[in-house]
Structure 1
């Protein structure tokens, strides 16, 4: 009986994990491309391998906007221009979004307002491709879920 329960739980876990992977692949394949401008980034970490710590200009702009400091996380509203570059509009207050607006999740920490992901891992030996990157390439679905897919120099 215990063996059947363990096999059933294992199958259930694998189904949940595979469905999560499927959802992310759908966002990558069918999502709308949005660029977030990068703020100056830290150099890659030699201890953790080839990876780059990221900061976004939109974090600074939104951090300067008047928002309640006791709000630890939520959504900001961004507007996507013709070049697919996102700009901060406001913090989400429940008003409906315009056609060219999207939700972007943020959280506050002792270091300020942050947008995830704040790091980008890349293949060993490819650091030169990303050292001059100015934009993070995100794929968004209709629900506001997003995935960082690349770093690029130009829109």
Structure 2
């Protein structure tokens, strides 16, 4: 009887954590700021692998280059400035206590293997639709005030949804 309670308690905890994560992502989708991030050039032969596309953002590369020493924090937030088209440009790494200027927003990152990762590094699509997404020039993210983000879709050079 005690064993069954432990098992069901563990299952309940897992379900509660999963529901919390889903609700949090749904809040970002509903209330987050839409940001377009330019996709950095990637070798087209390795871009498509099955039914997903590996994404590399220009701001990720710029943020990595801004940390010349390579000994910067392994996670934190980037400060982006939105242009008139809603495209985010890297400004600086966030420093605690530094206020944001008008038009700036935060975006969380983690450094893994000398790469700045924004959390949305892959875009999955239906098998057989690779040609449709080969024209992608921007990744569209919804970003919450705390810097958490969710990948919404991809856009072409004219910033139209694919």
How much has 1:29 moved relative to structure 2? 2.2
- Are 1:121 and 2:124 counterparts? yes
The Cα shift of 1:13 comes to 1.3
Alignment TM-score, normalising by the size of structure 2: 0.84
- How far the C-alpha of 1:115 sits from its partner, in A, is 3.0
Aligned to 2:22: 21
Query: Per the alignment, in what secondary structure is the counterpart of residue 136 of structure 2?
Result: coil
1:145 corresponds to which of 136, 145, 148: 148
Of 85, 88, 103, which aligns to 2:87? 85
Deviation at 1:145, TM superposition (A): 0.7
Gaps of 5+ in 1: none
State the secondary structure of the residue aligned to 2:99. Answer: coil
Note if contact 2:56-2:121 (Cα within 8 Å) is conserved in structure 1: yes
Residues of 1 paired with 2:14 and 2:116: CA distance? Answer: 33
Kept after mapping to 2: 8 A contact 1:108/1:114: yes
Q: Structure 2: how far apart are the matches of 1:113 and 1:135?
A: 17
1:6-31 C-alpha deviation (Å, 9 max, x unpaired) = 21221121111111111111211221
Structure 1 window deviating more from structure 2 (100-109 vs 2-11): it is 100-109
- Distance in 2 separating the partners of 1:83 and 1:96: 23
Q: How many residues align?
A: 152
Q: How does 1:93-112 map to 2 (within 5 A)?
A: 93-94=95-96, 95-112=98-115
Alignment of 1:26-45 (within 5 A): 26-41=27-42, 42-45=46-49
Q: Which runs of 5+ in 2 are unaligned?
A: none
How many Å apart are 1:110 and its aligned residue? Answer: 4.0
CA RMSD of aligned residues (A): 1.8
